[in-house]
Amino acid sequence: MRSRPPVATWAVLALGALLVLAPIWFTFVFATHQRNSIFNVPPPLGFGDAAGLNFELLLAALPFWRNLAISLYVATLTTVLNLVLCSAAGYAFALLQFRGRDKLFTVVLGTMMVPSFLNMIPSFMVMQWLGWLDQPRALYVPAGCGALGVFLMRQAALQAVPRELLAAARMDGAGEWRTFWSVVLPLLRPALGTLALITFIASWNNFMAPLVVMRSVENYTLPLALRAMQSPNNTEWGALMLGSALALLPLLIVYLFSARKLVAGIAAGAVK
Amino acid sequence: MNRLTPYAFVAPFFILFAVFGLFPLLFSLWLSFHQWEPSEGLAALRWVGLENYAMGLTDPWFIQGLGNTVWLALAAGLPQHLVALPMAFFIHRRVHQGRDLLVGAYFVPYITSSVAIALIFMTLYSKDYGLINVALAELTRLPLVGAWLPLDAAHLPDWLGDSAWTKPAVAFVVFWRYLGWNLVLYLTAMQTLDDEIFQAARLDGAPPWRQFWSIALPQLRPMIFFAVTLTLIGSLQLFEEPFILVDTEKGVARSVMTAAIFMYQTAFNDGDFGTASALSWALFALIAALAWLNARLFGKGGGHA
């Protein structure tokens, strides 16, 4: 006997997916309601008309544009640095011959084992000595060349760059930098796209690093600023949800168009 | 080719790691053996040997923090795998149309900011008006379900305000956030399984649960080991979700204060960087030891499942 058509299980899976997405849905719904309508029985399930009002409250409570700009600035610079530096290192590890190459690559992989909490206290002190506390560079410089990026770029270079092409470029007298820039980088483009997505999202969402080094509200990244907006008694929840929704929106849009690539890239990085 | 050129290509990684990774780590190891008043500069460092470790590790708050960490790791971690494994099996075998959409939906929480997640759950968990309690109250009013639910509509849980409920509330958020991640890991592994063996089993009349239990699970062992190791390492350093969900100023926060949160507070609230460094290295040693033990017990060449 063939097994029953699994309609019931399918329904459970789809219902589960809706439940998983529900908190995100309610972030957007609550962003359009005032506080007293969010905390009502029953709470609102659909959109309201207070988005404009919430936006005014948000701008009054936070230097929102500045926080947004800092998040964007840090995430963009982190991404650009990673694209350039990780692809150069990944290319060298994949396709150039030099003494100590494999040992050095093992070191790169080993650095991925260091948990972030171990670095939290001493990196705060390093930033203090450098005079970088409360400055965006304290966020994008240390994150400028991640081990995961080097690993992903090495894999991509091994797969996507034919060795004959490199040999031909060298025969034509192209130097190493030129070969890298005009021959290798274009071939790495799909992998660079994945790396850009992963890096940007990680930086945009990062909470622990800015929590430790950013001191004043004007220099907070968006997640820190939103957290700072809560107060014990009269948090404007509608405005807070609107800020949250605005922080989520760019990610969700990017995700909508690149989910398959992104999920595959993240899984590949983890599985190694 | 210049002999040094390849080194120039890989140098940025190592320079950044040396300055912002290795040096800070060595400094924190050194600091963990010192007592230090940060405001008085480096001259104020005083060698105390293992005193920071002894003090930190016997601090009742740290021990409670470790207990909370283990509780949350088990309550959030185990269900992730118990749900993700059969779910991945079913999706792999049966869902072909719309699979990307389905898996994509479950993965969304993983790419969402922990602050945004915490903020929305704070409203959903709210005692009197939160959607979760409103839904529970409705359920208790249903004839059959209501009698079975061990809840009273008049006394619903104060999820984030009552220390009896904070741990399950936080654990659920962590479970929710990482379920999709494990689902993706298991689906990736299932794609490498040999399909013929399943077809043979089906011809022999093996029911789906049997195929899952006797064929898929044993073959997936390496991935299960790997995914559980990742969960283990990740949940022992749990910080963001409990830190944001339960206001650390409140007394109830102590019920979800993890080891990493205690370490953070020792450094940045009490200014005791020496003890905090000792605690961070002790926690690191604990995670490394557990990962090693896990590898010995369940990794390659370990016992047979």
| pLDDT confidence tier of residue B151, bands split at 50, 70 and 90 | confident
SS (H, E, C) B197-225: HHHHHHHCCCCHHHHHHHHHHHHCHHHHH
Nearest to B267 among A24, A89, A121 (CB): A121
Nearest to A27 among B116, B249, B277 (CB): B116
Q: How many domains does chain B have?
A: 1
**What's at B273, amino acid-wise?**
F
In chain A, pLDDT over 70 holds for what percent of residues?
A: 97
Q: What is the mean pLDDT of residues B72-76?
A: 97
Is B150 a member of any domain? no
Residue B209 reports pLDDT greater than 90: no
Helix %, strand %, coil % of chain A (to 5)? 75, 0, 25
Report the C-alpha gap between B305 and B303 in whole angstroms.
7
**Residue with tokens 């789809």, as numbered in its chain:** A14
Is A58 a member of any domain? no
| Residue B292 in contact with partner chain A when CB distance is under 8 A | no
Q: Would the CB atoms of B129 and A41 count as touching at under 8 Å?
A: yes
Q: How many Å lie between the alpha carbon of B147 and the closest alpha carbon of chain A?
A: 22
Is A70 a member of any domain? yes
Cβ neighbour number for residue A244 with a 10 Å cutoff: 28
In chain A, pLDDT over 90 holds for what percent of residues?
A: 75
What crossing angle do the helices spanning A7-30 and B114-124 adopt, rounded to 10°? 90
B5, B9, B235, B257: which to substitute to probe chain A, counting the most A Cβ within 10 Å? B9
Distances (CA, A) of B148 to B74, B128, B132, B154, B187: 26, 22, 18, 16, 36
Q: What is the pLDDT of residues B75-106, one digit of tens each?
A: 999 999 999 999 999 899 888 888 889 999 99
| Residue B251 in contact with partner chain A when CB distance is under 8 A | no
What is the predicted pLDDT for the residue at A234? 77
Q: Which residue of A has its CA nearest to B20?
A: A142
If one compares B149 and A58, the residue with the highest pLDDT of the two is A58
| pLDDT confidence tier of residue B1, bands split at 50, 70 and 90 | low
b/e burial code for range A20-44 (CB count within 10 A of at least 16 → b): beebbebbbbbbbbbbebbbeeebb
Q: Which residue of B has its CA nearest to A170?
A: B1
Q: What is the mean pLDDT of residues A113-130?
A: 91
Is A247 a member of any domain? no
Q: What is the mean pLDDT of residues A163-184?
A: 90
Domain that holds residue A105: 63-221
Residues 6 or more apart in contact with residue A150 via CB below 8 angstroms = A86, A89, A90, A93, A108, B13
Is B89 a member of any domain? yes
Which residues in B lie closer than 8 A to residue A40 (C-beta atoms)? 129
Cα A50 → chain centroid: 30
Is B272 a member of any domain? yes
Question: Are the C-beta atoms of residues A247 and B112 closer than 8 Å to each other?
Answer: no
For A84, which DSSP code?
H
**What's at B301, amino acid-wise?**
G
Residue B304 reports pLDDT greater than 60: no
For B248, which DSSP code?
T
Question: Are the C-beta atoms of residues B283 and B236 closer than 8 Å to each other?
Answer: yes
Q: Which residue of A has its CA nearest to B271?
A: A121
**ipTM confidence:** 0.91
Average pLDDT over chain B reads: 90
Is A42 a member of any domain? no
Question: Are the C-beta atoms of residues A54 and A117 closer than 8 Å to each other?
Answer: no
Is B208 a member of any domain? yes
DSSP output for A160-224: H--HHHHHHHHHTT--HHHIIIIIIHHHTHHHHHHHHHHHHHHHHH--HHHHHH--SGGG--HHH
| Residue B87 in contact with partner chain A when CB distance is under 8 A | yes
A62-69 contacts, C-beta under 8 A, 24 or more apart: A62/A217, A62/A225, A62/A226, A62/A228, A62/A229, A62/A243, A63/A217, A63/A218, A63/A225, A64/A225, A64/A243, A66/A218, A67/A217, A67/A220, A67/A221, A67/A222, A67/A224, A67/A225, A68/A222, A68/A246
Which positions 25-64 of B are in contact with A (Cβ < 8 Å)?
Answer: 25, 27-28, 31
Q: Would the CB atoms of A3 and B180 count as touching at under 8 Å?
A: no
Domain that holds residue B223: 51-111+162-295
Is B45 a member of any domain? no
Cite the DSSP H helix spans in B95-165: 99-107, 114-124, 131-141, 143-148
If one compares B208 and B84, the residue with the highest pLDDT of the two is B84
- Report the greatest alpha carbon distance in chain B: 81
| pLDDT confidence tier of residue A267, bands split at 50, 70 and 90 | confident
What is the predicted pLDDT for the residue at A1? 38
Q: How many domains does chain A have?
A: 1
Q: Which of A116-120, A239-243, B43-47 has the highest mean pLDDT?
A: A239-243
Residue A2 reports pLDDT greater than 70: no
Q: Which residue of B has its CA nearest to A10?
A: B95
| pLDDT confidence tier of residue B111, bands split at 50, 70 and 90 | very high
Is A29 a member of any domain? no
Chains A, B: CB contacts under 8 A, how many? Answer: 245
Residue B208 reports pLDDT greater than 90: no
What is the predicted pLDDT for the residue at A232? 66
What is the predicted pLDDT for the residue at B236? 94
Q: What is the pLDDT of residues A53-100, one digit of tens each?
A: 999 999 999 999 999 999 999 999 999 999 999 999 999 999 999 999
Question: Are the C-beta atoms of residues A160 and A188 closer than 8 Å to each other?
Answer: yes
Q: What is the mean pLDDT of residues A205-209?
A: 95
What is the predicted pLDDT for the residue at B195? 81
Nearest to B12 among A23, A85, A224 (CB): A85
Residue B143 reports pLDDT greater than 50: yes
Q: Would the CB atoms of B130 and A43 count as touching at under 8 Å?
A: yes
Lowest mean pLDDT among A35-44, B57-66, B226-235: A35-44
Question: Are the C-beta atoms of residues B225 and B185 closer than 8 Å to each other?
Answer: no
Q: What is the mean pLDDT of residues A134-143?
A: 97
For residue A193, the domain's CATH number is: 1.10.3720.10
b/e burial code for range A251-269 (CB count within 10 A of at least 16 → b): beebbeeebeebbebbbbb
Question: Are the C-beta atoms of residues B251 and B226 closer than 8 Å to each other?
Answer: no
Residues 6 or more apart in contact with residue A95 via CB below 8 angstroms = A157, A158, A161, A163, A166, A184
Is B267 a member of any domain? yes
For residue B99, the domain's CATH number is: 1.10.3720.10
Is A152 a member of any domain? yes
Q: Would the CB atoms of A101 and B6 count as touching at under 8 Å?
A: yes
Is A162 a member of any domain? yes
If one compares A188 and B297, the residue with the highest pLDDT of the two is A188
Nearest to B21 among A85, A97, A111 (CB): A111
Is B273 a member of any domain? yes
Which residues in B lie closer than 8 A to residue A104 (C-beta atoms)? 10, 14
What is the predicted pLDDT for the residue at A23? 96
Q: Would the CB atoms of B28 and A6 count as touching at under 8 Å?
A: no
Q: What is the pLDDT of residues A9-66, one digit of tens each?
A: 888 999 999 999 999 999 999 999 998 888 888 888 899 999 999 999 999 999 999 9
Is B5 a member of any domain? no
Residue A192 reports pLDDT greater than 50: yes
Which residues in A lie closer than 8 A to residue B104 (C-beta atoms)? 255, 259-260, 263
